[in-house]
Amino acid sequence: MTVAETTGSAEDLRRRMTTCLTHEGVLRTPAWREAFATVPREHFTPAFSVHDAEGFRTLRAGDPGYLETVYSDTSLITRRDKNGVAISSSTRPRVMAAMLEALPDRDTATVLEIGTGTGYNAALLCARYGAEKIATLDIDPELTTAARERLHTAGYTPTIVTGDGTRGHTPRAPHSAIIATCGLPRIPAVWLSQLAPGGTVVANLGYGLASLNHHDDGSLRGRFLPEMAAFMTARHSPEDSAPNACPEDIAGLMPARGRTTTVQVAGDVTAPMPRFLSGMLHHDTIDVSLVGDDGRTVHLIQHPASGAWARMAPHGAHGARLDHDGPEHRNLWGERLVLIKAWFHAGHPGPDRYGLTVAPNGTHTLWLDSPDGPSWVLPA
């Protein structure tokens, strides 16, 4: 989408953005096209930072290029924590449209949004379904206060709640749909109990966007969308910070040590689909790729909770040296390569050929093509 290359009024840019998303096949239904063409994104993002070739730059209303950036296919970072880590943003319009199109296509649907953020996505939901059918929730009271003011000023009055979204929102249950605009390690089991029969969950897990339906046996089941994205991780309190790799720990993993083996590697393990599969399997690891003194790239995985780690240094066309250690000599890279090799032998399928089943007891099972096909139970 190349809206940023054009100039014009906010209305013109909004219309062009909607037209681009429609031509690309992301916006498919008239109701969502109308919502994107109507709701002013700039009203919810008066100031933000974006990352480009020159690094991070901040834009405010009235700055040159401000409106063009607002209506480009760009994530706008609107809030950072005390460590400078981004904790709130307005997501790329293409990703927002893909997730919203996965919601029920009926005017009577009631929707719970997890992650109010700027309020722009909530405004789109209100424009589509009506404000009385929308509840939006965020853990950060400063975000919900600002979003409430902007939503009300724009003429949208959804129910706005400050709280932990992983617990859902019982007072408005059952919900026709739950959409999470934050990253989740796993689908919270409590959400299943708050869904109406046949309800829908659209959520980000790792680098995947899952669209799941509630079935009669109490499970959630569905596929991943073709789009991939990684959202900011859901927080359980406003003070939560994103986990960061400790430089001393990473430096200590660079030299080859631990239990060593040689493995065959099918392609680039940091390419989009291997990264998607790795994110499905390991939701609580820190991943870093560094270039060693010899010029070779080393891929490091650290599991802070257990102390397990794994180091892989590719060499040759398809080989790699793998070092690992931790409780019971856990091999993190070995676990990932099972999924990556299965993907390679299946012909490099995209994310939309993978699906997920969430059992009533919380067990998550990843599968390829159908629930009866190749499958892998994911760790909790």
**Block residue for tokens 């700055």:** 63
Which is the catalytic residue, given 72, 75, 88, 90? 88
> By three-state DSSP, how is residue 234 classified?
coil
Residue 279 is inside which H or E element, if any?
Answer: helix 272-281
DSSP code of residue 135 = E
Nearest Cα to Cα of residue 77 among 122, 124, 21, 117: 117
Q: Which two tokens stand for residue 150?
A: 């902007």
| Whether 88 is catalytic | yes
Helices (H), 39-84: 41-44, 66-70
CA distance 30 to 378: 38
Is the CB of residue 201 less than 8 Å from the CB of residue 212?
Answer: yes
CA distance 341 to 195: 36
3-state helix, strand, coil in the chain (%, to 5): 30, 30, 35
Is the CB of residue 334 less than 8 Å from the CB of residue 273?
Answer: no
Provide the annotated active-site residues: 88
